[in-house]
Structure 1
Amino acid sequence: MTDRMMFYGAPTTVFKKARMLRFSMTPAERHLWARLRKNQLNGFRFRPQHPISEFVVDFYCHKAKLVVEVDESYHENPKQKEYDENRDHILKEFGLIILRFTDKQVLEETESVIQTIINCLPAPEVTKR
């Protein structure tokens, strides 16, 4: 699979937005990133603020086709909820799995969040000798 395939046709403008967002992560995103970075979850690589099509997702594991979103309180707004649902629908059409957690869950229930993410990762590959 080529690197371009993991971006699902994201245009240059979305790459620029993603780069900017990496430098302005919320406290909850930074907290979760500390647990996802450097292949800490069963060797799976996560990317922060990753461009996919016209969107930037909070975290993405290409090998597992897993998107992890950390939602702040404004995601409770009805218009934002509708936007998120439409966005999730589009991402699911790419065959992606989407997990959403509130910032409160990430900060206060970190181990539960991590376990939920691990449960969505494929089983480690067994190598034959």
Structure 2
Amino acid sequence: MDTIANARRLRQDQTLAEKALWGLVRNRRLGGFKFKRQVPVGRYFADFACEAAKVIVELDGASHDGREDYDARRTEVLGLFGYVVLRFPNERVLGDPGGVTEEILAALRSAGV
């Protein structure tokens, strides 16, 4: 499957937490920063990326249980592309969206953009 088609499929098959976070960051709603969904970075797709600030937000649901080594390697590789990677469990996004967006905004502002 090509990259564009795969990204499109991932955007259409969002989790509830991804939908919730997208509603908070889309259209520059978070501090005026532009986010995109399912952005190809190397061989991975970042859940959410602010390319100007080089910040990626990854959401971890049940499919990530037992895959901590994989996620750590993925974070490392994304970091090699110059990104700061923030990871949040789906439950936190749904239960504390304000706290999550505060952490994201702090990372965006510290990027100096």
Same fold by TM-score, threshold 0.5 exceeded?
A: yes
Q: Residues of 2 paired with 1:96 and 1:26: CA distance?
A: 23
Q: CA deviation at 1:73?
A: 1.9
Q: CA deviation at 1:17?
A: 1.1
Q: Do structure 1's residue 25 and structure 2's residue 34 form an aligned pair?
A: no
Q: 1:113 aligns with which of 87, 90, 100?
A: 100
- Count residues in correspondence: 112
Q: Which residue is equivalent to 2:83?
A: 96
Q: Which residue is equivalent to 2:70?
A: 83
Structure whose alpha-carbon radius of gyration is higher: 1
The one-letter code sitting in structure 1 at the alignment partner of 2:14 is: M
Uncovered stretches (5+) of structure 2, i.e. residues with no partner: none
The TM-score with structure 1 as length reference comes to 0.81
Q: Residues of 2 paired with 1:104 and 1:71: CA distance?
A: 9
The one-letter code sitting in structure 2 at the alignment partner of 1:89 is: E
Q: Which residue is equivalent to 1:38?
A: 27
CA contact (8 A) 1:18 1:49 kept: yes
CA contact (8 A) 2:41 2:81 kept: no
Q: Do structure 1's residue 122 and structure 2's residue 109 form an aligned pair?
A: yes
Name the Cα RMSD after superposition.
Answer: 1.6
Q: Which residue is equivalent to 2:57?
A: 68
Shift >4 Å, 4+ stretches:
none
List per-residue Cα deviations over 1:72-110 (Å, max 9, x = no partner).
023121xx2111111111111111000000000000011
Q: Residues of 2 paired with 1:69 and 1:15: CA distance?
A: 19
CA contact (8 A) 1:14 1:56 kept: no
The TM-score with structure 2 as length reference comes to 0.92
The one-letter code sitting in structure 2 at the alignment partner of 1:43 is: G
